[in-house]
Structures are given as structure tokens and as C-alpha cells.
Amino acid sequence: MAERDPAAGEPSAAHTIREFTHGYEEERRLRGFRSASCGFVTATWGLVCPRCGRADLEEAALSGEGRVAAFTIQTVPSEEFVNDAPYAYVLVDLDEGGRVSGWMPAVRSDGDLAIGDRVRWVPSYKAGVQFEKA
């Protein structure tokens, strides 16, 4: 973890984008944030609540389970996924709240997945947030 400037005071849970991505890349967990004022949960890093605008986001536990909100089959992958194509690029509504984008390596055609299917996050050595069918 990066050194902090003690003069900057205690950071919030959403202090830096580096600390956010640190969650799934190194600690193998998804990080979420809950607004203390309105209870809104987001899985997207930010300094203020996207619903009420208050700077009161606290870290929230996310199970990594949810339902597919949307997906598309990716047949022209970026370089790091060239050996995984085709695969699904997915948007997942997490059970606790928040929506995250990710990918599913075992989904190779439209018939392999449906909107509303249960999925769960899988820690992976690869970049991005990987899901599998739950």
C-alpha cells in the first residue's frame, strides 16, 4: 500500500482509486461503499454518494453475488484476453446494491447466459472483475 501523508489526516474508505482497485487485485475481495446518510450502496469508487451528494461513503461488504443486468459476447478481445475469446462482457447488479462490469470466460454465445441469471465473483489472476454462474 502507498505511503500516506500524515498531514492529510485519516482517509475515507474511498480515498484513492489505487486503494479501490487494491481490493480485488491484491486482497481478493470486492469493495463497496455505503452512504451513511441515505444508505445507497455503490461498487464504483467515488468521493461522494451518487444519490445524495454527501461525502459520507463508508466501506461496505460485498458478497460478489448478484444477477446479470446486461451482457454482450466479446469476439474481438483486447490483447490480454486474446486467449479467452469469445467471452461475455457483463454488467452485474450485486445483491447488496451497486453495479459492476466484468467478464465471464465460459460464456461463448448468447445462449450461454440470460439477463437475470445468478452469478458470483471469482478471484482471478487476470485483469478485470471475473464472474461465473452461481
Shorter beta-carbon distance to Zn ion: residue 52 or 61? 52
Question: Integer distance in angstroms from the first to the last C-alpha of the chain?
Answer: 32
Considering only the stretches 11-19, 47-55, 69-77, 119-127, report the one whose residues sit in contact with Zn ion under the rule CB under 5 A: 47-55
Is residue 42 close enough to count as binding Zn ion by CB under 5 A? Answer: no
Is 133 a binder of Zn ion (CB under 5 A)?
no
Strands of the sheet containing 57-61, edge to edge, are 41-42, 31-35, 57-61
For residue 49, the minimal CB distance to Zn ion (Å) is 3
Instruction: Considering the complex, state which of residue 52 and residue 127 has its C-beta at the smaller distance from Zn ion.
Output: 52
Check residue 52 for interaction with Zn ion (CB under 5 A).
Answer: yes
Q: Which is nearer to Zn ion, 52 or 106 (CB)?
A: 52
Look at residues 33, 38, 42 and name the one whose alpha carbon lies nearest to residue 52.
38
Residues in a beta bridge with 123: none
Of residues 60 and 119, the one with the C-beta less far from Zn ion: 60
| Cα–Cα distance, 105 to 83 (Å, whole number) | 10
Cis, bond preceding 86 (omega within 30 deg of 0): yes
Rounded Cα distance between 53 and 61, Å, is 21
User: Considering the complex, what minimum distance in angstroms separates the CB of residue 79 from Zn ion?
Assistant: 38
Asked if 89 touches Zn ion (CB under 5 A), the answer is no
DSSP single-letter state for residue 25: H
- Chain positions contacting Zn ion, by CB under 5 A: 35, 37-38, 40, 49, 51-52
